């Protein structure tokens, strides 16, 4: 049953609202409470560790964090108002200013921003920021990463694939100097697809359920190709190979997504780019706080390289030693700016985090991994499927950039006329099932206006979850 409804909102944009159960609604209604319950369960299971480490104070801290998170879950499930952050942290004021901005978008009659009455992107990011606040309010366990176990499990369960990946890379290293241009391009395409496939291993989509990479990836690449919806690899190659011919140093920046298997595929891609001299330095961007369950923090990055270095498989261990050396020689550089864990869409970066924008401008190419980055690149708006990618970026272009993303949310641009409709006919959940891949490049610096309609996601009842206001 769907109802049509016209709503006039404070910014005087009229939305025709179709009430249909949406991915955003199901995320907030079902998946985020499930994730919170897993976090509370994790804290319960670490009670003894907290006591052993910190005595009675640790036990009390665990209880406090659990009660704060239980309160958060209740606020979410009963659609309470979104409350300001209270614990002083580097981004507390920015978050509370953003909450005031959301309030300003609402009509007085709509009251305050609530969990089911706010943009999905904001509410989902806010939930992870409140999890972080609950821990920082519970010293001495304030530095405990409630998602650490899940991220490590993903890595350990993907060992088969990691071994085949590292073995392939090390075997290629033996002959990489002799590859001709075509052979090099084909290897580049392989490592790009491996990094793309790695994005399927995402624990927030799975609600924390295991999502490791079980089968051998290299041999599956041909089977994977039909699932690539937009494939700009050729354009990516011509951009990068041209830069390599023209410049002595070429910098590729990779905005990371999930730790575990996906991070391993990104390190393998980075190693290939450096070893093939397609790049001379790689800059990685991770998250400052635990984020969307599986996203990479500096602790995850250092832990993974250490694990790989100490592997009992010789080619895996060789990769770990190489990666550690690249970090020491600053050929691999890791950044974790707080902006990446704010709710802002990326077209706001030059205002909100001009230092980060200036850093990205030094890159010859930026690769954005994953779905959440794609949502922030496109402002989480309901663009028509055929809107060009550069237009959806709404003036965000620090450097030529490429989104490498598995579709997991109901946003998609850059398609051919009819392509989205065709996919919907063949697989109704094509946007959120995580079965389709998306390698879209924006390599030309074009300015563009913001003409995307904002995305409104509704479910059956009168309330709805809105995308970015
Ligand atoms: O960025 P990633 O790891 O590819 O995906 C993030 C994600 O799991 O979180 C949101 C739903 O909870 C969606 O953006 C997407 O499904
Ligand atoms: Mn993620």
d(CA 231, CA 33): 35
pLDDT tens digits for range 122-161: 999 999 999 999 999 999 999 999 999 999 999 999 999 9
Q: Measure Cα distances from 394 to 12, 155, 196, 389 in Å.
A: 20, 36, 24, 9
Which protein residues touch ligand 1 with a CB less than 6 Å away? 27, 31, 124, 199, 202, 204-205, 257-258, 292, 370-372, 375, 408-409
What tokens appear for 411 in the block?
Answer: 């946003």
- Kindly report the backbone phi and psi dihedral angles of residue 96, in degrees, each rounded to the nearest multiple of 5, phi listed first: -70, -30
pLDDT of residue 452: 31
pLDDT of residue 429: 72
User: Residue written as tokens 């479910």?
Assistant: 459
Q: Whose atoms come closest to the Cα of 35: which ligand?
A: 1
Mode of pairing for the β-strands spanning 332-335 and 281-285: parallel
Render the burial of 296-315: b for 16+ CB within 10 Å, e for the rest. bbeebbebbbebbbebeeeb
pLDDT of residue 152: 97
> How many CB atoms are closer than 10 A to CB 271?
23
**Mean pLDDT, range 265-284, rounded to an integer:** 98
The minimum-distance atom of ligand 1 relative to the CA of 295 is 3
Q: Whose atoms come closest to the Cα of 200: which ligand?
A: 1
Distance 345 CA to ligand 1 centre (A): 15
- Kindly report the backbone phi and psi dihedral angles of residue 374, in degrees, each rounded to the nearest multiple of 5, phi listed first: -65, -40
Distance 205 CA to ligand 2 centre (A): 8
**Mean pLDDT, range 62-80, rounded to an integer:** 97
Mean of all residue pLDDT scores within the chain? 85
Distance 6 CA to ligand 2 centre (A): 34
Distance 408 CA to ligand 1 centre (A): 6
Among 19-23, 199-203, 268-272, top mean pLDDT goes to 268-272
Mode of pairing for the β-strands spanning 228-231 and 4-8: unpaired
The minimum-distance atom of ligand 1 relative to the CA of 406 is 4
- With contact defined as beta carbons under 8 Å apart, do 70 and 86 qualify? no
With bands split at pLDDT 50, 70 and 90, how would you rate the model's confidence at 354? very high
- Burial label, 267 (beta-carbon count in 10 A; 0-12, 13-18, 19+): buried
d(CA 452, CA 455): 9
Beta bridge partners of 15: 7
**Mean pLDDT, range 333-361, rounded to an integer:** 97
Beta bridge partners of 366: 253, 401
Q: Whose atoms come closest to the Cα of 28: which ligand?
A: 1
Please state the separation of Cα 66 from the chain's center in Å.
26
pLDDT of residue 203: 59
Cα-Cα-Cα-Cα dihedral sign, residues 278, 230, 268, 356: positive
Distance 445 CA to ligand 2 centre (A): 27
**Percent over 70 (pLDDT), the chain:** 84
pLDDT of residue 206: 60
The minimum-distance atom of ligand 1 relative to the CA of 199 is 4
pLDDT of residue 23: 74
Say yes or no to pLDDT of 449 above 90: no
**Mean pLDDT, range 61-83, rounded to an integer:** 97
pLDDT tens digits for range 83-113: 999 999 999 999 999 999 999 988 777 788 9
d(CA 346, CA 233): 23
Spatial neighbors of 333 by CB under 8 A, at least 6 apart, are 281, 282, 283, 284, 327
- With contact defined as beta carbons under 8 Å apart, do 369 and 157 qualify? no
Radius of gyration of the chain (CA): 22
**ipTM greater than cut 0.90:** yes
pLDDT of residue 445: 22
Domains, the chain: 23-137 (1.20.930.60), 148-442 (3.40.50.10880)
**Percent over 90 (pLDDT), the chain:** 64
Residue nearest to atom 3 of ligand 1 (CA): 202
Supply the pTM of this predicted model. Answer: 0.88
Ordered alpha helix ranges (H), 158-260: 159-173, 181-198, 221-224, 233-246
pLDDT of residue 210: 62
pLDDT of residue 8: 31
Distance 341 CA to ligand 2 centre (A): 11
Segment (H or E) for 389: helix 389-392
With bands split at pLDDT 50, 70 and 90, how would you rate the model's confidence at 450? very low
With bands split at pLDDT 50, 70 and 90, how would you rate the model's confidence at 284? very high
- With contact defined as beta carbons under 8 Å apart, do 193 and 187 qualify? no
pLDDT of residue 297: 98
- With contact defined as beta carbons under 8 Å apart, do 365 and 402 qualify? yes
If one residue of 262, 290, 371, 378 were mutated to test the ligand 1 pocket, choosing by the most ligand atoms within 8 A of its CB, it would be 371
pLDDT of residue 451: 27
Cα-Cα-Cα-Cα dihedral sign, residues 213, 219, 224, 225: positive
Beta bridge partners of 367: 254, 402
pLDDT tens digits for range 183-197: 999 999 999 999 988
Say yes or no to pLDDT of 205 above 90: no
**Mean pLDDT, range 164-175, rounded to an integer:** 97
Grouping H, G, I as helix, E, B as strand and the rest as coil, residue 253 is strand
Spatial neighbors of 34 by CB under 8 A, at least 6 apart, are 207, 208
**Mean pLDDT, range 269-292, rounded to an integer:** 98
Q: Whose atoms come closest to the Cα of 369: which ligand?
A: 1
What tokens appear for 173 in the block?
Answer: 């290293």
d(CA 283, CA 178): 27
- Burial label, 30 (beta-carbon count in 10 A; 0-12, 13-18, 19+): exposed
d(CA 141, CA 154): 23
Say yes or no to pLDDT of 425 above 60: yes
């Amino acid at each position: 049953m769907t109802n049509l409804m016209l709503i006039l909102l404070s910014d005087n944009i009229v939305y025709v609202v179709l009430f249909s159960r949406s991915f955003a609604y199901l995320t907030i209604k079902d998946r985020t409470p499930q994730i919170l319950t897993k976090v509370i369960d994790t804290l319960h299971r670490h009670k003894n560790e907290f006591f052993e480490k910190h005595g009675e104070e640790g036990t009390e801290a665990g209880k406090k964090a659990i009660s704060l998170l239980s309160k958060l879950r209740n606020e979410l499930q009963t659609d309470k108002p979104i409350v300001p952050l209270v614990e002083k942290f580097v981004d507390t004021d920015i978050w509370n200013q953003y909450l005031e901005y959301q309030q300003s978008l609402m009509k007085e009659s709509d009251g305050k921003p609530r969990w089911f009455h706010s943009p999905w992107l904001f509410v989902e990011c806010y939930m992870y920021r409140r999890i972080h606040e609950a821990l920082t309010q519970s010293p001495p366990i304030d530095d405990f990463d409630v998602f650490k176990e899940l991220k490590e499990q993903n890595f350990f369960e993907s060992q088969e694939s990691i071994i085949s990946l590292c073995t392939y890379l090390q075997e290629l290293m033996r002959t990489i100097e002799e590859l001709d241009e075509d052979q090099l391009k084909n290897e580049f395409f392989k490592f790009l697809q491996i990094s793309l496939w790695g994005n399927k291993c995402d624990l927030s989509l799975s609600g924390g359920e295991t999502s490791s990479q079980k089968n051998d990836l290299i041999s599956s690449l041909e089977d994977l190709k039909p699932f690539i919806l937009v494939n700009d690899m050729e354009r990516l190659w011509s951009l990068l190979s041209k830069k390599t011919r023209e410049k002595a140093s070429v910098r590729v920046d990779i905005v990371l997504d999930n730790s575990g298997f996906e991070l391993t595929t990104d390190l393998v891609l980075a190693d290939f780019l450096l070893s093939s001299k397609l790049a001379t330095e790689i800059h990685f961007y991770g998250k400052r706080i635990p984020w969307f369950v599986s996203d990479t923090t500096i602790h995850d990055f250092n832990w993974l390289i250490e694990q790989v270095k100490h592997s009992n498989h010789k080619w895996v261990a060789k990769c770990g030693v190489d990666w550690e050396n690249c970090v020491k020689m600053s050929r691999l550089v890791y950044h974790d700016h707080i902006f990446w864990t704010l709710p802002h869409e990326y077209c706001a970066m030059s205002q909100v985090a001009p230092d980060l924008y200036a850093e990205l401008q030094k890159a010859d190419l930026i690769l954005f991994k994953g779905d959440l980055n794609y949502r922030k690149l496109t402002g989480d708006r309901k663009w028509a499927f055929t809107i060009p990618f550069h237009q959806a970026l709404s003036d965000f272009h620090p450097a030529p950039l490429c989104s490498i993303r598995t579709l997991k949310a109901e946003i998609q641009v850059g398609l051919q006329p009819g392509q989205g409709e065709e996919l919907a006919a063949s697989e109704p959940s094509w946007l959120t099932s995580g079965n389709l891949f998306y390698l879209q490049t924006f390599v030309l610096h074009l300015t563009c206006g913001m003409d995307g309609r904002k995305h409104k996601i509704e479910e059956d009842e009168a309330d709805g979850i809105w995308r970015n206001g």
